[in-house]
Amino acid sequence: MAGSEALAPQALTPAWPRTGVRRLWRAMRPERGRLVFAALLGFIAAASSVALMGTSGWLISRAAEMPPVLALSVAAVMVRAFALSRSFFRYVERIVGHDAAFRGLTGLRVAVYDRLEVLAPVGLARFSRGDLLARLVADVDAAMDLPLRVFLPWAQAALVSAGTVAFMAWLVPGAGAVVGLALLAGLVAVPWIVARIAARAEARVAPLRGTLSGAVVSDLDGCADLLAFGAVDSSIAHVRTLDRELTKVARREAAGLGLGVGLSVVVQGAAVIGSLLLAIPAVTSGRLAPVWLAVAALVPLAAYDVISSLPNSALAYQRVRAAARRLDEVLDAPPPVEEPADPRQLPSGPLTLECRDVVARWVADGPATLRGVTLTLGPGDRIAIVGPSGSGKSTLAAVMLAFLGYDDGIVTLGGVPLRELTGDEVRGSVTLLTQSAHIFDTSVRDNLRLGKPDATDDELITVLKRVRLAEWLANLPEGLATELGPRGSTLSGGERQRLALARLLLSDRPIVVLDEPTEHLDPQSADALTVDLLRATEGRATVYITHRLTGLESVDRIYVLGQGQVRAVGSHESLLAQGGWYAERWHEEQDRVS
């Protein structure tokens, strides 16, 4: 989409500052024609409102002189015309303006989502789930205020003010200057004061809103544990504290807005009084007909009504600035893996995944998690990667999937360095099953078809049999159409992992990475699932990352990691004969089983 392209970080050159609001305005470029048209429509509606007030004042004053009815007919028709045009053009302006804003909003939301996809999963560790939700929803919605509550009101107010000043200068020489100063104060001075008061508060509103969303999402996710440990009251108290703090900051905003509205009323009154002070001598001296006195009083009053919304616009602008800064943090976040400028394609045929002296780290200036790891996974090979927690097993998986870049060494897939391949190209051949595979809040069928969108029901039933879920499927009330609930809440841990395995098998990728898929299961369920995992992935190149050693007799090679380095390599029997960490861990597991 044009809007998302305009927001992409690579689309912003040094000639265009990377200021958030300017980026948002640039993203609206495809819709600027509609916005200008909406501004003109709004100007006509606002000018009709001012003209209606002035014409009505003239008509009432002239009618008080009891002239012939025909002398009032033109003014009466104008009153009807201005009343109708005010409503009609305001309605059309709302349609055109909101259409442009929603189109721009769509482009912005797509751009943010595309960036989140590039950052996921490694690059999103800096954001909490609730904070990401606030950025994707609340901050993007706040950005829509830029065209609707900032650009359009100010553009219309400026045009109406210019027309009003010109009319008053023609009607009463000198009144144009007085009214112009009052309108200038309403256009610039009052909104500036509101913005200055609200800026500090608004800078805290968006982060606080994200923190509050994060706390609510976290409490909802962990409500079962909170209930089990009796921590519900403390979690609710924490949320209430955040809510009170957010309310306190919002009150500061409201105080600034109230001051702005009060100043607007004062300046509006000054404009009317100033206009009358100049118009009354003109009437008494005979330079101005008495019927125009009401016009001189009502036109500034009506014109100031048009700009009375600008304090709100100033507040909306501060919200847009705060939201834009938070969106910039997402749009400008460096990706964990840089995409190549001239990507290559994988060769056809069987693929070999090879790591040679790989050094990788999660944080740019942090310690290396992998220190010179070397391994090879040929077509059909089955290897296991084991080691204590923190030894670098999951880091190695992230490097293999091109989720995380590497500092030194080389990783090749099919003989092509991973740095010369796009992430999508890599993950088109390498797939992953994690310890917490996500199950979507939809049916069994839809969850499985993520692996193969065009899979038939017979294929789905077959793959469920392969992962030993046939009996489970037979007991479901609606079979494949059964809804699984949020995050697969209706499934046990083992059922969730087996369903995710079925989805993985449907994807038919030649290389499979299993990253501790039995982590959250009890030992008996974990051992049974390990056997089924290795059986179901037979014939595919498989990397099985685990902290449990049961079932590894069937793999070709076992790599033992320690402190980011390969400490030992061999089969199950050879590693037991060597002794060391593997043998000690194996005997500990056997003792627990006994």
DSSP per-residue letters across 408-431: EEEEEETTEEGGGS-HHHHHTTEE
Cβ distance 245 to 208 under 8 Å? yes
**Predicted confidence band of residue 173 (pLDDT cuts 50, 70, 90):** confident
Q: What are the residues whose beta carbons fall under 8 Å from the beta carbon of 277, sequence distance 6 or more?
A: none
Over residues 553-582, the mean pLDDT reads 91
Statement: residue 52 has pLDDT above 60: yes
Token pair for 566: 């390969």
Residue among 536, 478, 528 at smallest CA distance from 504: 536
Distance in angstroms (rounded) separating the CA atoms of residues 547 and 562:
12
Pairing mode, strands 353-360 and 370-377: antiparallel
Residue 16 clears pLDDT 60, i.e. is over it: no
Helix axes 32-64, 292-307, angle to 10 degrees: 150
What mean pLDDT do residues 423-442 have? 88
Which amino acid, 144?
A: M
pLDDT the model gives residue 355 = 95
Give the bridge partners for 354, in sequence order.
376, 412
Tell me the Ramachandran region of residue 448: left when phi exceeds 0, alpha when psi lies from -120 to 50, beta otherwise: alpha
Q: To which H or E segment does residue 75 belong?
A: helix 70-119
Per-residue confidence at 318, pLDDT binned at 50, 70, 90? confident
**Helix 310-331 and helix 232-284, axial crossing angle in degrees, nearest 10:** 140
Question: Looking at residue 327, what is its pLDDT?
Answer: 85
pLDDT tier at 324, thresholds 50, 70, 90: confident
231-268 pLDDT, tens digit per residue, is 888 888 888 988 888 888 878 777 777 888 888 888 88
Q: What is residue 14's predicted lDDT score, i.e. its pLDDT?
A: 31
Strand residues in 434-539 grouped as ranges (E): 511-515
In the chain, what are the domains? Answer: 2-331 (1.20.1560.10), 353-593 (3.40.50.300)
Query: Is residue 354 within 8 Å of residue 514, measured between CB atoms?
Result: no
Range with top average pLDDT, 2-6, 225-229, 450-454: 450-454
Q: What pLDDT is stored for residue 155 in this prediction?
A: 92
User: Could you tell me the two tokens for 6?
Assistant: 């305009």
The 3-state DSSP composition of the chain as helix, strand, coil percent (nearest 5) reads 65, 10, 25
Strand partners, 561: 566
The predicted model gives 458-480 an average pLDDT of 90
Name the amino acid, one letter, at 328.
D
In sequence order, what DSSP letters do the residues of 206-270 get, joined into one string?
HHHHHHHHHHHHHHHHTHHHHHHTT-HHHHHHHHHHHHHHHHHHHHHHHHHHHHHHHHHHHHHHH
What's the rounded mean pLDDT across residues 429-433? 90
- In tens, the pLDDT along 338-350 reads 888 899 999 988 9
Greatest mean pLDDT among 113-117, 281-285, 330-334, 518-522 lies in 281-285
Q: Out of 137-151, 194-208, 403-417, which region has the weakest mean confidence (pLDDT)?
A: 194-208
Query: What is this structure's pTM?
Result: 0.70
Phi, psi of 65 (to 5 degrees): -80, -5
Report helix, strand or coil for 70. helix
Q: Is the pLDDT of residue 518 over 90?
A: no
Of the ranges 335-339, 497-501, 511-515, 578-582, which one carries the lowest mean pLDDT score? 335-339
279's enclosing H/E stretch is helix 232-284
Widest Cα–Cα separation across the chain: 119
- pLDDT for position 19: 54
| Residue type, position 523, single letter | P
Residue 453, both tokens: 């969108």
pLDDT score of 320 more than 80 = yes
- 417 has pLDDT over 90: yes
pLDDT at 1 over 70: no
Confidence of residue 6 (pLDDT cuts 50, 70, 90): very low
d(CA 446, CA 487): 13
**C-alpha count within 13 angstroms, C-beta hemisphere, residue 594:** 6
What is the rounded CA–CA span in Å between residue 432 and residue 545?
A: 11
Mean pLDDT of 412-422: 93
Mean pLDDT of the 210-224 span: 79
Which whole number is the average pLDDT over 50-65? 91
Q: What gap in Å lies between CA 486 and CA 496, rounded to an integer? A: 12
Per the CB < 8 A criterion, the answer to whether 385 and 362 are in contact is no
